[in-house]
Amino acid sequence: MARNIKRDRKAISPVISTIIIVAIAIAIAIAVAYWMVGITGAYVKVEKLEMTTCYATANTTHYTVYITVKDTGSTDVTLDKLFLNAKPYDTFTGVSIEGSWNSPVTPGTARSFKVYLPYNSAPFTPGTSLDISLVSVTGREYPKMLTLP
């Protein structure tokens, strides 16, 4: 009597095979998603600037505001405007900047500069808040608030 070979073989149940196929499809989809994020991340440039230092000192003639910015993004940042209390800095009499504040800051580097303000002259009086906003050439605003000593 000849045995039927097909009947003696054991196979995977249809439910188990469906679960395996779905798991493989999900794993492939996740791998493709990570690959696509990697590709787009290489072409997308992010502008991000942080004010790591911002404080003021005073003497009898002027305030000195020390500002250090660091580019933590993936593209160069060039500052275009400096606002003090929502007004351009050059609209105030006696305000000046020392340092190359508006040259490009490359990713991972920092730049320091000083802003000189007249002492005890409105609106720069002791104890008042000073809203400093740096604006890049792309229009992004980087604000910081400090109190004058």
Q: How confident is the model at residue 35 (pLDDT cuts 50, 70, 90)?
A: confident
In the chain, what are the domain boundaries?
12-43, 49-147
Q: Has residue 2 got a pLDDT over 60? A: no
Q: What pLDDT sits at residue 13?
A: 84
d(CA 111, CA 96): 17
Q: Has residue 124 got a pLDDT over 60? A: yes
Q: Could you tell me if 131 and 143 are in contact, meaning their C-beta atoms sit under 8 angstroms apart? A: yes
Which architecture characterizes domain 49-147 according to CATH? Answer: Sandwich (2.60)
In whole numbers, what is the pLDDT of the chain averaged over residues? 88
d(CA 2, CA 149): 103
- More confidently predicted of 64 and 46: 64
